[in-house]
Amino acid sequence: MALVTRFTEQFDVRHPIVCGGMTAVGTADLISAVANSGALGFLTALTQPSPEALVKEISRCRDLTDQPFGVNLTILPSIDPIPYDEYRDAAIESGIRIIETAGRSPEPHMPAFRAAGVKVIHKCVSVRHAIKAEQLGVDAVSIDGFECAGHPGEDDIGGLVLIPAATAALSIPVIASGGIADARGLVAALALGADAVNMGTRFVATEEAPVHENVKRQIVANDERSTNLVFRKFRNTARVAKNTISDTVIDIESRPDSTFDDVAELVSGKRGRTQVLAQGRMDDGMWWAGQTQGLIDDVPKCGELVDRIVAEACELIERRLAPAVRTEPSAPTARTAG
């Protein structure tokens, strides 16, 4: 079974499903499995300690799959300078032809991408940013609804409104992101005008995801309420899993005189990667998770997951929705004689 959309045709993948870049998770172990399933996955460039290491990770991924995959380049402010241009060039010179950008505008990098024939997908959290990205020449936009893990922006617009608003405003393919973990979400996104869906938390809860088993079991055990919104005070809102650390961060943020320095040690990315994702110490660091935890009840292989979602989506479209909804001509409106 297959669902053919503009996205599958333009990006040469079998299924309209994406595993976007996830720090410390988007490695060759997971992304090769995503690619082999017929979906499109992205290695996260900055998960690698250097551009040279990214080249090696791209090579390792190619050893594990002959299907298309891409590289995510997340451009954010940092205390220590990050050689974004070098990571970009490492991906291009390694033959990567699909790049996912996130964070700041991809505008400074677009000339290099265009010269190399790279297709660009830019992640956005608002329609106005998506319109700007299309004007810059990106090939597709991934639009993140409020339900997503990570940074949903400050507008708090859920996917049911944000997705059709974006698809109405854009002429390029739109990938619906945030709140999607199964066939129902895929079919709904397509009905709202999207050309594909992005899943993050759902792919973390797969056998191939390079995280501790405790993380996967926690996602299954959690429900849709098991997230916290942190950094709201600093206008850098982030949705993370609810645990002792994120509860403490919210408590500190609620104090009138608190600053980011008061939470910096608690929210360290290194702490989350080493103590939670690698060691499975679930209350010892902050880690990303979306509201889709309430829709996840197993830890399958990537191939099994994607096959199941596509098969169930086809069934929903062909066998369940069509028989459940009947269209009939409207009765003529009665008119009052004048």
Q: What is the residue-wise DSSP string for 160-185?
A: HHHHHHHHHH-SS-EEEESS--SHHH
Structure tokens at 25: 């998770």
Compute the average pLDDT of residues 84-89.
98
Pair 307, 37: CB distance under 8 Å: yes
Whether residue 325 lies inside any domain: the answer is no
Could you report how far apart the first and last alpha carbons of the chain are, in Å? Answer: 58
Q: Is 7 helix (H, G, I), strand (E, B) or coil?
A: helix
Does residue 156 sit in the same domain as residue 283? no
Does residue 32 sit in the same domain as residue 122? yes
Residue 212, pLDDT score = 98
- Alpha-carbon distance 54 to 87, whole Å? 7
Per DSSP, which regions of the chain are E strands?
Answer: 17-19, 40-44, 70-75, 98-103, 119-124, 140-144, 174-177, 196-198, 227-230, 238-241
Whether residue 327 lies inside any domain: the answer is no
pTM above 0.75, yes or no: yes
Angle between helices 28-36 and 51-64 (to 10 degrees): 40
The alpha carbon of residue 319 and the mean position of all alpha carbons in its chain are separated, in whole angstroms, by 29
Other C-beta atoms closer than 10 Å to the C-beta of 240 total 23
- Annotate 53-100 with DSSP letters as a single string: HHHHHHHHHHHH-SS--EEEEEE---SS---HHHHHHHHHHTT--EEE
- Alpha-carbon distance 46 to 24, whole Å? 9
Does residue 301 sit in the same domain as residue 282? no
Q: Is 184's pLDDT higher than 90? A: yes
Whether residue 220 lies inside any domain: the answer is no
256-276 pLDDT per residue, tens = 999 999 999 999 989 999 999
Structure tokens at 335: 């008119």
Does residue 194 sit in the same domain as residue 236? no
126-174 pLDDT per residue, tens = 999 999 999 999 999 999 999 999 999 999 999 999 999 999 999 999 9
186-233 pLDDT per residue, tens = 999 999 999 999 999 999 999 999 999 999 999 999 999 999 999 999
Whether residue 330 lies inside any domain: the answer is no
Does residue 187 sit in the same domain as residue 282? no
Pair 278, 270: CB distance under 8 Å: no
Domain residues for 158? 7-210+296-311
Whether residue 217 lies inside any domain: the answer is no
Does residue 197 sit in the same domain as residue 116? yes
Total residues belonging to the chain: 338
Q: Is 212 helix (H, G, I), strand (E, B) or coil?
A: coil
Residue 319, pLDDT score = 79
- Alpha-carbon distance 65 to 277, whole Å? 25
- Alpha-carbon distance 141 to 237, whole Å? 21
Does residue 197 sit in the same domain as residue 58? yes
Other C-beta atoms closer than 10 Å to the C-beta of 158 total 15
pLDDT band at 324 (very low <50, low <70, confident <90, very high): low
Greatest Cα pair distance in the chain: 83
Does residue 94 sit in the same domain as residue 144? yes
Whether residue 318 lies inside any domain: the answer is no
Does residue 147 sit in the same domain as residue 254? no
Whether residue 222 lies inside any domain: the answer is no
- Alpha-carbon distance 213 to 285, whole Å? 16
Pairing label, strands 227-230, 238-241: antiparallel
Residue 136, pLDDT score = 97
CA dihedral 248, 253, 256, 257 (to 10 degrees): 90
Q: Is 333's pLDDT higher than 70? A: no
Does residue 92 sit in the same domain as residue 18? yes
Does residue 76 sit in the same domain as residue 180? yes
Other C-beta atoms closer than 10 Å to the C-beta of 70 total 28
The CATH number for 72's domain is 3.20.20.70
- Alpha-carbon distance 321 to 264, whole Å? 49
Does residue 49 sit in the same domain as residue 98? yes
**Domains of the chain: total:** 2
Q: Is 328's pLDDT higher than 70? A: no
- Alpha-carbon distance 202 to 3, whole Å? 20
- Alpha-carbon distance 24 to 119, whole Å? 24
Q: Which residues on adjacent β-strands are paired with residue 44?
A: 72
Whether residue 316 lies inside any domain: the answer is no
Residue appearing with tokens 């660091």: 285
